[in-house]
Chains A and B, each alone.
Chain A
Amino acid sequence: MSGMEPLFGEEHDAYRETVRMFVQREIDPFAEDWENERDYPRELFQKAGAAGLFGAKFDERWGGTGPDYAAEAVAIEELSRSLSFGTASDLGAHSQLAALYIDRFGSDDQKERYLRPSIAGDLLGALAVTEPGAGSDVNGIHTRATRDGDDWVLNGSKVFITNGAWSDYVVVAGRTSDDPGHGNITLFVVDAGSAGFEQRRMKMIAWHTSHTGELFFDEVAVSDANRLGDVGSGFASIMTNFQWERVMMSLSALALANLSLETAIEYARERTAFGRPVIRFQVWQHRFADLAVRLRTSKALTYKALRLHIAAEQGQEVPREELVRVTSMAKLHSQRLAWEVADECVQVHGGAGALKEYPAQRFWRDARVGPIGGGTDDIMRNLIARSLGLGVA
């Protein structure tokens, strides 16, 4: 059999409709208010859980409907097309990071306690790796976990933790040794309300509704039953999961880019200049055509990465270097593009592009996170250069 296999089937189209309806009913009508209030109701998680938005990639045993990563991609695309990207980012961090870590690296007991209620939307999660002094350089984190009898004691701080300001639990990366190599980091699940654990919301120029937080750990006692995976396995776990996180971000950025382009075109049709709609000017027609081409190539690349992930999830042999190479490329290509599309969306709006009452500036601000979060553009280029056999001598 030759040719390419389709990514999506009829069941995925039906699921897309479900997620789209959810967005149209539960998010979009309130997006403007939420944006102004910089907040949204926590109950949204339960509603999303009840609608089956968190279950696609998880096994039925834990309340999921999968594992089906193509369906998961559908959910990501549709949620990211909502008018509240910050909210979608919170939901994504909960499901694609926190819950997925529990699923991949947790024991049955941990899955019962954290994964099942996460899929239902009853318990909110976040993942905490980045610190004030270390981001993509994961091995450079300072938050320390020290063994104390049966427990562990955590000290340190984390920043830019999406959904972390109000989550019920946080998957935390802590340093458990200072040996050379990559076996120094261990993952722990820390419950909100633990003595010495503080969650603070950060004020960001983007993702206004998102509960991105700063976390502080001052002698926080964590039971060994909440250690996620083996001692020292954290670095490898984080590196593995980065790949899915980056595909997820690519799908998400492209959804936002599509929304920006559609919004820009719509405005260009309505706005007149020199006696005709702006859309009648060839420079704008061609600029939009160019952006559509770049979006389409970016989507083809992201779907290529998605195919590799689905194959790997289905147990097929997928060389890790190939997965990292294509995923890094998709991430690099899509994040910068999403911001550039949003920037042209602001441009076509002229002065209105700066006004809060138009969504253009919001897309532009929200898209700017992409080339930084989840591994910066330059980190992606380092990884891609390495795949070409280039790098530091």
Chain B
Amino acid sequence: MRLTPFTEEHDLLRSTVRQWVETEIAPHVADWEERGDFPDDVFRRAGELGFLGLAFPEGAGGQGGDYWSQVVFLEEVGRVSQPIAMVLSVQTDMATPPILEFGSEAQIDRWLKPALRGELIGAIGITEPDTGSDVASIRTHAERDGNEWVLNGSKMYITNGARADFITMVVRTGELDQTNPWGSISMFIVDTSLPGFTVSQKLEKAGMRLSDTALLYMDDVRLPAEALLGVEGEGFKQIMWELQGERIGVSIFGVAGARALLEAAVDYARTRETFGQPIGSYQAVSHRLADMATELEAVQALVYECCELWNRGVYATEEVAMAKLAVGQMSNRLVDAAVQTMGGAGLVEGEFVSREWLGMRIGRIGGGSDEVQRQILARIMGLA
């Protein structure tokens, strides 16, 4: 009975990624977080090292690895910084996989290959000021005009949105038909250098401050015909596919972050003394951490089952929704338990635990809120 999904090759990859993360990411995270910015160079370096295309086929500019190599990457980044994991995962698990899955050779050459090299930065554009998880209600629309599409509308809360070179975007390409609201949606690769595309606001957030989250505005952006990704009118189905990989990706680095936070809390509990003994020797503290460790272990076991299914090409909507929901819930409880264990030290600005406490909250909102996951599950279970 094999007890780990990872091989020696994965272990080697892990140490390479870890070295990069520890020398080029970890020392700067506090500063980036305070500034609310980070250098584009992070993408370029990750691309140079081959980290942005680990599970993409070589023919498309990737490393040709299996999904477990992507797991290694997200875990190693996730244990150091959730926001950096997020911005990289937007690139590797959200903006680019649809290009490989639905794109033409030309689109792969034009957008995917440079993105995997870290030369182009991508974002995923779904949410709008008036609609999020209810994708069928999007209003941003593109109309055919000769050989071109004319794009109008806005997108909100777009991670990497202020710096992106392209946005993999869902857009309405026909009148909203209430009997089939999913029918007239298509995907486009939107070149952000085109006239009419503006970043109207970089949003100030409570946590994950280093990442740019933007409000985007499109005013008569003229897209060439070859900007259409996949099949016209199939955008809803295509974005649902994208969300699977997205939810597994955020689940993986969410679990890795939670484990790092647990370790930080345990270390603190072992060294901090009160009333003459380490606080970790009090059952009230050690049992709380034992409960958190248990919850973490259970959720991770489910996430790994999802990774296994995804690696085998199984479209496991139920397990993935469960994992996404479970990770958000668990990591929020766990990071709060870590803050509580550390007392005042857990509240000092700029420290690992306080920073992640602020940032983890997005896990229950982004990529489909807790309530949306429950609704998906209720439907799959035949309840709704």
Contact = CB atoms under 8 A, between A and B. Distances in A.
B214 to A, nearest CB: 31
Query: Which of A279, A378, A388 has most chain B Cβ within 10 Å?
Result: A388
A381 B286 contact: yes
Contacts of A294: 326
B308 A286 contact: no
For the complex of A and B, 10 pairs with smallest distance between CB atoms: A300-B301, A385-B286, A384-B290, A285-B378, A393-B281, A301-B298, A289-B377, A390-B280, A390-B286, A300-B302
Nearest to B279: A390
B308 A296 contact: no
Interface stretch (B1-9, B100-108, B169-177): B1-9
Given A296-B319, A311-B1, A3 B66 contact: yes
B268 to A, nearest CB: 11
Nearest to B377: A289
Interface in A301-335: 301, 303-304, 307-308, 310-311, 314, 316, 318, 326, 329, 332-333
A5 interface: yes
Given A1-B7, A293-B377, A378-B287, A286 B371 contact: yes
Chain A CB within 10 Å — which of B270, B297, B298 has the most? B298
Contacts of B378: 282, 285-286, 288-289
Interface string A4-48: 110000000000000000000000000000000000000000000
Given A1-B7, A2-B5, A288-B381, A385 B290 contact: yes
Contact of B322 (A279, A296, A329): A296
A284 B377 CA distance: 12
Nearest to B322: A293
A230 B80 CA distance: 51
A289 B329 CA distance: 13
Interface in A265-304: 265, 268, 279, 282, 284-286, 288-290, 292-294, 296-298, 300-301, 303-304
B318 to A, nearest CB: 8
A265 B383 CA distance: 8
A384 B5 CA distance: 24
A153 B36 CA distance: 76
A391 interface: yes
A146 B182 CA distance: 79
Contacts of A387: 293
Given A1-B2, A3-B308, A279 B66 contact: no
A3 B312 contact: yes
Contacts of A351: none
A181 interface: no
Contacts of A333: 294-295, 298
Contact of B301 (A301, A332, A380): A301
A193 B326 CA distance: 53
Contacts of A378: 283, 287
Given A286-B374, A289-B381, A294-B326, 20 more contacts: A2-B7, A2-B311, A5-B1, A5-B2, A286-B378, A288-B381, A293-B377, A297-B322, A300-B298, A307-B3, A318-B3, A329-B293, A378-B287, A382-B286, A382-B287, A385-B286, A385-B287, A385-B290, A388-B286, A391-B286
Contacts of A391: 280-281, 286
Contacts of A382: 283, 286-287, 290
B10 interface: yes
A385 B281 CA distance: 9
Interface in A364-393: 378, 380-382, 384-385, 387-393
A329 B319 contact: no
A8 to B, nearest CB: 12
Contact of A292 (B2, B289, B322, B384): B322
A297 B301 contact: yes
Interface in B286-328: 286-287, 289-291, 293-295, 297-299, 301-302, 304-305, 308, 311-312, 319, 322, 325-326
B66 A311 contact: no
Contacts, number: 150
A286 B374 CA distance: 5
Nearest to A290: B374
A242 to B, nearest CB: 17
B271 to A, nearest CB: 11
Contacts of A293: 322, 325-326, 377
Contacts of B289: 385, 388, 390
B68 interface: yes
Contacts of B270: 389-390
Contacts of B248: none
Most chain A Cβ neighbours within 10 Å, of B281, B285, B290, B302 = B290
Interface in A141-188: none
A390 B269 contact: yes
A268 B381 CA distance: 13
B200 interface: no
Nearest to B383: A285
Contacts of A1: 2, 7
Nearest to B294: A329
B278 interface: yes
A2 to B, nearest CB: 5
B277 interface: yes
A381 B383 contact: no
Given A293-B325, A307-B3, A311-B1, A300 B305 contact: yes
Contacts of B185: none
A150 to B, nearest CB: 44
B338 interface: no
B94 interface: no
B187 interface: no
Contacts of B5: 2-4
Contacts of B210: none
9 contacts: A4-B2, A5-B1, A285-B383, A289-B381, A297-B301, A307-B1, A308-B3, A378-B283, A382-B287
